[in-house]
Structure 1
Amino acid sequence: MSNIAIISKSDSTGGGASRIAASLARLLNDLPEYEAHHWVGRPGINADWFTYKLHGGQWLSLIQGVCAIGSRTIGLPDFLTPELFIHLQRKSVNYDLYHFHDISFTFSPIALKWLAMRKPIIWTMHDCSPFTGGCIAPLDCQAVYSGCNKCPQLNKLPLGTKIDFTGAMQNFKIKLLGDYPIVIIVPSQWLAKEAIKVVNFKVKPIVIPNFVDTAIFKPLDKNIVREILGLPKDRFIVLLTATNLSDKHKGNYYAVEALKQLKSKPLIIAIGKLDEHQNIFFKGLEVVTTGYIYNDQLLAQYYACANIFLYPTLADTFGCVAIEAMACGTPAIAFSTGGVPEIIDHDQNGWLVKPKDTQGLAAGLEIAINEPLRLKSWGKNARLKAEKHFNRDLFINRHLALYDKVLSKL
């Protein structure tokens, strides 16, 4: 039996990257030849049996909090975290393989280097932070390619500091990825190309797209689901979702601007965190807010009850929410950015427009509202693509093949 440690910021109650990590651990534990433990920085209340707190215990949690603040005070966010000191004191490591996912706020790159010198390491990059000075998405910043400096996101999380050592932090990570045989997984060809522009990898990145559980996320009768959820059966419903609806990277400002341009006003369902003082965000629109939904079955009902999913992300490397909506037969209208064009095929299973083009989003919405047969075709094709390209078996089998290859070299 192979023992696998999976490390991520949170568990299935977290964002997309942590949810993928938790799902992978669950799938591995369903197999007799593997045992996977999921080590997380911030576990939810009802964590799975295989989930462990990385900075376990009251004192370690307190030290972790102090380190998170202290490392930002000196301009080295997350480089000095408790597990660094714990690992430096250990004489051995217990797992056959370590598989990292999102590690901002969670695991020090210095500790990762320590492990890479002793055990096989796989690192799934869910965003750009493994090869930047700390930001998740450089957006329009070109410094990432020539060397991070004068960071425009310095005071924003996950950086959250006043001292700019982004160049030094980026150089450390680039050297780590170039000097050690860390196996890199990326969910999209786009992210692989971006990473290769910055890093001379010792091991070329491997593309394994994220997956959706098509047994949970599936088309449902819209009238029945709307009745269950207390939503009107005769309205055109547009769905918006993000962990934090006001996150600028998610582009919902552009979604709101596009919705305000429509001749007819649809009902909007907004899934995600939104503080009360931020409700002005949707001023002038008819909106039902649900808060963040942790239950996949309930989330699937909301996806399935909507007519269209409006997905104006500015920076997603792949987008689990897009394939979840598509699996429910709800097509997406999105910006053609990041890994999104690898999910959505324009006018086949959704609609793509140039980034920040609110008129383009509005035009796509008008088509969805006024051409029901076209919309129906998008939805049918969206489900088919999710089933064929983003299913569970493809996802786990690609990981198992990679694990076998890595472990066979021991």
Structure 2
Amino acid sequence: MVLQLSTFHWEGGAGVAAARLHQALLNAHVDSRLMVSEISHPGPQTTAWADSPWKSRKAWANFVLERLSFLPYEKDKSVRFAFSPAAIGADIADHPLVRQASVIHLHWINFGFLSLQSLEKLFALGKPIVWTLHDMWAFTGGCHYNRGCERYLSHCCYCPYLKKPGEYDLAFAQFEKKHRLFQGASVTFVSPSRWLDSLVQTAALTSGMASRAIPNCIDTDFFKPGNQDDARRAFGLPTDKKLLLFAGANTQDPRKGFTYFQEAMRHANLADVEVMILGKGKADDFENMPVKTHFLGKISDVSQMVQAYRAADMLIVPSLEDNLPNTIMEAMACGTPAVGFGTGGIPEMIDHLESGFVAAPKSASWLSEGIQWVLKHNTNGSVSANARRKVLEHYSEAVVARQYSQLYDSLLHGQ
């Protein structure tokens, strides 16, 4: 049995990716179990660590205490959730599912679910560990994305996320703890993008350890093309305009690069083009957009998300740091091309000038050029067809489940 461990369940990019993989493995007849901190909604072979009112209170307390442990160190509020000290977490080493598991598969485990001490106890069991990385945290001194700092390549210290960076700061201490944790550990790191895998191979903490790239997966029978006009009418959107979609869990997160999209729309000066925005925020946040904007808020219903992708003519992803964005995969599965910056794993997802457009990072003018390219070249639907084909060939459940199944077998049987 393979036990998947994830803080979140069907929430956030990492939580969604973990839940999708679990379902794909079950569909491929792999004996997979998923344990999350708390369940969002019931699912097959899925267990919550917090399976009682007392444990739910404990899970919340762990989250709060883990965040409070960082509070004295944080530079300012902007980095509050961008650095995880992993000081607080649940001890699950004696949990029946952990004991039964042949392989332990870690996903995103921060925010009070598992601490470094929790991981140490899991590693001490001697079972093969697969760790799918959804950001850079596993090989840094605590940040989830490095924002240009390259100290993780040698030894983290003088951390730019900290109020008082120094030679022996919090990042230095966590780096040392991870170094001890990884010594002799039977861990295989899996990165959803080749970009992240290349960082694993060069990072001081993980270079020389087993690693490979296996992408996230998606249900292509659910995320699929549909009638655009019907989708637009469902949201009360115009059927006679070109609609560009910007989607993010937090639209105001600087890492998502919304300001570059805003500037690109000023560059483009396109007639009959309007914008759709999905995510946390409020309509007032987008009043400076140079074109009419339809703010749809946060959509939790997956069927509505599919309709949103179908309603759009393209997805805009000006992320400054990202791994393998679910939004790109979801949009392309629905036949909606993407235009994004060439950061992280984005260039691996979008085949430039085939299934979309990859723009130079932080260039609003290139982003504008990409928008115009898709509008010009997708009049016959060829770019949309290429986008859908890319997902079917690389990110479908069967393709990804097969790669993970082969990995598990190799770890258990030395194949």
The reply to whether TM is greater than 0.5 is yes
Identify unmatched segments of 5+ residues in structure 2. 74-82
Match of 1:217 in 2: 223
Distance verdict in 2 for CA 1:111–1:220, change over 3 Å: same
Asked whether the 8 Å contact 1:5–1:39 carries over to 2, the reply is yes
Match of 2:115 in 1: 108
Counterpart selection for 2:6 from 1, 5, 8: 8
Asked whether the 8 Å contact 1:251–1:313 carries over to 2, the reply is yes
Partner secondary structure for residue 10 of structure 1: coil
Match of 2:46 in 1: 51
Match of 1:205 in 2: 211
Deviations 1:146-183 (A, max 9, x none): 3222222337xxxxxxx941122123224433531111
- What CA distance in whole angstroms lies between the structure 2 residues aligned with 1:290 and 1:276? 9
Distance verdict in 2 for CA 1:201–1:309, change over 3 Å: same
Distance verdict in 2 for CA 1:286–1:382, change over 3 Å: same
Match of 1:34 in 2: 31
Which residue type is aligned with residue 260 of structure 1? Answer: R
Distance verdict in 2 for CA 1:42–1:317, change over 3 Å: same
Tell me whether 1:22 sits opposite 2:27 in the alignment: no
Asked whether the 8 Å contact 2:333–2:391 carries over to 1, the reply is yes
Q: Percent identity of the aligned residues?
A: 28
Q: CA deviation at 1:274?
A: 1.0
Q: CA deviation at 1:300?
A: 1.3
Counterpart selection for 1:368 from 352, 374, 379: 374
Query: Within 5 Å, which residues of 2 pair with 1:143-292?
Result: 143-154=151-162, 164-198=169-203, 199-201=205-207, 203-264=209-270, 266-275=273-282, 278-280=285-287, 282-292=288-298
Distance verdict in 2 for CA 1:53–1:10, change over 3 Å: same
Which residue type is aligned with residue 136 of structure 1? Answer: H
Note the aligned Cα RMSD (angstroms).
2.6
Q: CA deviation at 1:245?
A: 0.7
- What CA distance in whole angstroms lies between the structure 1 residues aligned with 2:371 and 2:29? 48
Q: CA deviation at 1:97?
A: 2.0
Distance verdict in 2 for CA 1:360–1:33, change over 3 Å: closer
Distance verdict in 2 for CA 1:54–1:72, change over 3 Å: farther
Match of 1:158 in 2: none
- What CA distance in whole angstroms lies between the structure 2 residues aligned with 1:384 and 1:216? 15
Tell me whether 1:305 sits opposite 2:311 in the alignment: yes
- What CA distance in whole angstroms lies between the structure 2 residues aligned with 1:33 and 1:376? 37
Partner secondary structure for residue 350 of structure 2: coil
| Regions of 4+ moved over 6 Å | none
Which residue type is aligned with residue 213 of structure 2? Answer: V
Distance verdict in 2 for CA 1:341–1:174, change over 3 Å: farther
Distance verdict in 2 for CA 1:386–1:66, change over 3 Å: closer
Match of 1:403 in 2: 408
Q: CA deviation at 1:234?
A: 0.5
Which residue type is aligned with residue 124 of structure 2? Answer: M
Identify unmatched segments of 5+ residues in structure 1. 156-162
Match of 1:79 in 2: 86
- What CA distance in whole angstroms lies between the structure 2 residues aligned with 1:66 and 1:29? 34
Asked whether the 8 Å contact 1:178–1:201 carries over to 2, the reply is no
Q: How many correspondences in the alignment?
A: 394
- What CA distance in whole angstroms lies between the structure 2 residues aligned with 1:207 and 1:249? 23
Asked whether the 8 Å contact 2:28–2:401 carries over to 1, the reply is no
Deviations 1:296-324 (A, max 9, x none): 22211111111111111111111221121
- What CA distance in whole angstroms lies between the structure 2 residues aligned with 1:33 and 1:227? 41
Match of 1:122 in 2: 130
Partner secondary structure for residue 167 of structure 1: helix
- What CA distance in whole angstroms lies between the structure 1 residues aligned with 2:260 and 2:241? 22
Asked whether the 8 Å contact 1:78–1:107 carries over to 2, the reply is no
Which residue type is aligned with residue 23 of structure 2? Answer: R
Q: CA deviation at 1:211?
A: 1.6
Partner secondary structure for residue 37 of structure 2: strand
- What CA distance in whole angstroms lies between the structure 2 residues aligned with 1:228 and 1:304? 11
Deviations 1:300-358 (A, max 9, x none): 11111111111111111112211211111111111111111111121111111111000
